Amino acid sequence: MTSHVHGRRLAASGFALIAAGALVAGCTGSSDDVTSDGGIGGSVIWADFGGPTNESRQVAYFDGFAEEHGVEVTSVPIEDAVSYPMLEGEDGDYDVFQVSAAEPLNYAGGARELPEAARSDLLPDELSPYLMGGFYLGMAQGWLTETFPDGGPQDWADFFDTQKYPGKRAWPGQPPFYDSSYEIALLADGVAPEDLYPLDLERAIAKLDTIRDDLVFYQSYAEVQQLLASGSTAIAVTVTGQFTALSNAGQDVTVQWNQAFTTPQGFVVPAESSNPDAVLALAEWMNDPEHQAVFVERTGYGPVNSEVFDHLDPEFAATLANSPEHEDVVIPWNEQWRADNKQAMLDAYTEWLAG
């Protein structure tokens, strides 16, 4: 199932930021964090990867939350040297920080549980008690529509067919960006989607070797836009937000949703968070469908609250990774298997990139 994403800029959202529900009960916090008018007060140190996505969080979430609850949310660049020790129960500077879906599974007990009102119904059951401010990434192949005017690859086997679909392929070139590389290779090698896990890493690497000379390795996601726009590559494999960015810049882009992958991302509240009342109230605020719709419209990431789709234009909603329109063709990662085998996947991909 392909979708053509034309270069239209999203209209500024008209959703108003509304007040969140009742504050989280049963959380202890310093009396210094309570304002004289009954608000929460204090501050929250929020760690993420910055950039436009963080700016969208400021608009969609933080500004309204600060006005309603008197809590200043200060964003800082995330550092593994701080976040991972905090997941293990050590002290640190962050009140909440970004993680992949694997981290709450890898560090059992490293994150506070969220109140029911903050839990997202589109997240897997094992993740919804821990991931706040969540969103869905898609990973797919895409191209400028003019590159294949008669239609491009229909699946990953076609992606590997450089005779039928000629041209270089933009491919993840940093070890931590192995993303869906193993799954893609195995599907191209004939493995059925339902039989992907456990991943046969050796077989996947062998399949990747067959196309290595046709790959252009990118070092950052944003580089993909330049590779496609310049014609340096014919097809790219990347997070679908990069295709959305190209579309917003005026390019006509085709995204192949058949056999695309989806995975949730989000944030955790470590045990040593200094203002848990504020953070857990912020988690509820971010799960509000109207607030979340603003973020989704600005970023093109999929929502984690199903009610958000009620607030989106249907044409735009169809471009999202976890759109109901894609339900029968996309493939969710097996988050538990990937969490259990994260190091093996990283090591194998690092070795393969090194040649």
Q: For residue 35, what pLDDT is reported?
A: 42
Q: For residue 1, what pLDDT is reported?
A: 67
Domains of the chain and CATH, by start: 29-136+266-321 (3.40.190.10), 137-263+325-354 (3.40.190.10)
Phi, psi of 143 (to 5 degrees): -155, 160
pLDDT per residue as tens digits for the range 259-268: 999 999 999 9
99-126 mean pLDDT: 92
CB 284 within 8 A of CB 46: no
pTM: 0.83
Q: For residue 62, what pLDDT is reported?
A: 98
Q: For residue 189, what pLDDT is reported?
A: 98
Residue 16 has pLDDT above 80, yes or no: no
Helical ranges in the chain per DSSP H: 51-57, 63-69, 80-87, 102-106, 156-159, 181-188, 201-209, 223-229, 240-248, 276-287, 289-299, 314-317, 335-340, 342-354
Per-residue buried b or exposed e for 286-303, using 16+ beta carbons within 10 Å of the residue's own CB: bbbbbbbbbbbbbbbbbb
pLDDT per residue as tens digits for the range 342-354: 999 999 999 999 9
Q: How many other CB atoms are found less than 10 A from the CB of residue 127?
A: 23
Peptide bond into 198 cis (omega under 30): yes
Token match 């392909």: residue?
2
Q: What is the DSSP string of 27-68?
A: ----GGGS-TTS---SEEEEEE--HHHHHHHIIIIIHHHHHH
Q: pLDDT band for position 4 (50/70/90)?
A: low
Q: What does pLDDT average to over the chain? A: 89
